[in-house]
Amino acid sequence: MAELQPITEDNFLEAFRLKLAPGQERFVSHPVRSLAQAYVYRNQCQPFGICAGGRMVGYVMVIYDYDVPEYDIWHMMIDEAEQGHGYGGDALDRMIGYIRTKPFGDSDRVALTCHRDNAAARKLYESRGFTPTGAEDEDEDEIEMVLTLR
């Protein structure tokens, strides 16, 4: 089972050591970029380490978009050595549970983007009820997917 632990000064270097599998760099940004964004948007987001067995196995961040309003899941990744153990699904379930507490504002809409060639991620998101909206970012080759909390 994976758990979410807020990124703090005590564990951010662990997030920096996470590695994407070869070829996955085109699917998701490394936590270094995401943590820079977390600093910029610090009043509306929370970065998390995905932890299992006392070690960080991945990373994910949630941000609240006040303009829409909606929660956005950004930069979810599992370290290359830890993939295939179900940590991504556990982390996504925990993230949805966290969003249900409405930590930044009231919205039942959860959105994320997925690289159109990332079949494994898309299958995971669809298994949790996310559906494509039809919106696409042609520059990034990403599709938007959304979940409405009930």
Task: Give the residue, 34 or 51, on which the prediction is more confident.
Answer: 51
Token representation of residue 74? 């950004």
How far, in whole angstroms, is CA 104 from its chain's centroid? Answer: 16
pLDDT at 147 over 80: yes
> What is the gyration radius of the CA atoms in the chain, in angstroms?
14
Does the predicted model carry a pTM greater than 0.85? yes
- What pLDDT does 19 receive? 94
Strand partners, 48: 6, 60
Instruction: Give the residue carrying structure tokens 């950004």.
Output: 74
The one-letter amino acid code at 122 reads: R
User: Can you tell me the mean pLDDT for 42-69?
Assistant: 96
- Report residue 44's pLDDT band, with 50, 70 and 90 as the boundaries: very high
| DSSP at 57 | E
| Per-residue pLDDT reduced to its tens digit, 79-118 | 999 999 999 999 999 999 999 999 999 999 999 999 999 9
Domains annotated on the chain, with CATH: 3-148 (3.40.630.30)
121 touches 27 (CB < 8 A):
yes
- Report residue 28's pLDDT band, with 50, 70 and 90 as the boundaries: confident
% helix / strand / coil in the chain, to the nearest 5? 30, 35, 35
| Per-residue pLDDT reduced to its tens digit, 133-143 | 999 887 778 99
Does residue 69 have a cis peptide bond before it, meaning omega lies within 30 degrees of 0? yes
- What pLDDT does 149 receive? 96
- DSSP of 65-126, one letter per residue? ETTTTEEEEEEEEE-GGGTTSSHHHHHHHHHHHHHHT-SSS---EEEEEEETT-HHHHHHHH
